[in-house]
Amino acid sequence: MPILILLLGLLFGSFLNVCIYRLPREEFVFNYPSHCPECKRKLGLLDLIPLLSYIILEGKCRYCEVSISPRYPVVEILTGIVFLTTYMSIGFHPGLIKYLFFFSVLIVVFFIDLDHKIIPNSLVLVILTWGILWQIFWPEIFWVESLSGALLGGGFLLVLAVISRGGMGGGDIKLMFAAGFYLGPFLTSTALFIGFFSGAAVGIALILLKIKKRKDYIPFGPFLSLGIFLAVLWGRDIIDVYLSFIGLH
């Protein structure tokens, strides 16, 4: 079973690559087959096998030999790992479908925000709708928890946006509203905490390494996505460790 989930992740990852590339360009996502971005030759079925085709072709297009970005296999491997850890953490369970889909959309958010510094509204809407459907038909938490999580996540970032006068993007606020709906207030706080902590750590590292300047904009969506993922799978453990660390447990 774990191998099957991993393979499913790799396969899904190759579709997520298509979404990451096409969504910000307003191309239709289901317009298969894909083509090489350089020579526009349509890719055969063999070229669409995730990971393996990249290894066999040594990272080059079969036709024009232009190098293909290592981003593609990276997204595939990442999706495989996310699928596998989600399965290991929640097991074979209806919630597995809920979170595999949710995390897949978060991976797309992660890379689109990284590349284009935007979080498309369509993706936030998909996350929110999916969460509401599960809340109606297969609730894991009470409605009051869902709603307070959403208000806390979106509200906290909205207040920050007002205070910092635009330091926080509208996309981040909407994303955290939608994710808060899944998480409830405690796990939403955990996700925000991880997001700010990892964002600050990476930001400081990039400035120290002189890759970024102090005033450069660093997208926050990838860090929020990471925080949400970790909060869903291990949020309760993280809260326990934190409470015992500050001596409250």
Nearest to 129 by CA among 188, 192, 184, 182: 182
CA 231, 225, 86: angle at the middle one, nearest 5? 55
Q: Answer whether 184's CB lies under 8 Å from 147's CB.
A: no
Examine residue 61 and tell whether it contacts Zn ion (CB under 5 A): yes
User: Which CB, 56 or 64, lies closer to Zn ion?
Assistant: 64
3-state secondary structure (DSSP) of residue 35: strand
Could you tell me the two tokens for 37? 């971005």
Min separation Cβ 34 and Zn ion, Å: 11
- Quick note: the x/- pattern for Zn ion over 62-101, rule CB under 5 A, is -xx-------------------------------------
User: Which CB, 46 or 125, lies closer to Zn ion?
Assistant: 46
Which long-range contacts does 144-147 make (Cβ < 8 Å, 24+ apart)? Answer: 145/184, 145/185, 146/180, 146/181, 146/182, 146/184, 147/181
Q: Answer whether 48's CB lies under 8 Å from 14's CB.
A: yes
Binding part of the chain for Zn ion, among 15-23, 59-67, 178-186, 199-207 by CB under 5 A, reads: 59-67
User: Which CB, 50 or 195, lies closer to Zn ion?
Assistant: 50
Q: Which of residues 190-209 bind Zn ion (CB under 5 A)?
A: none
Q: Which of residues 9-48 bind Zn ion (CB under 5 A)?
A: 36, 38-39
Examine residue 162 and tell whether it contacts Zn ion (CB under 5 A): no
Min separation Cβ 30 and Zn ion, Å: 22
Could you tell me the two tokens for 216? 């450069």
Residues that bind Zn ion (CB under 5 A): 36, 38-39, 61, 63-64
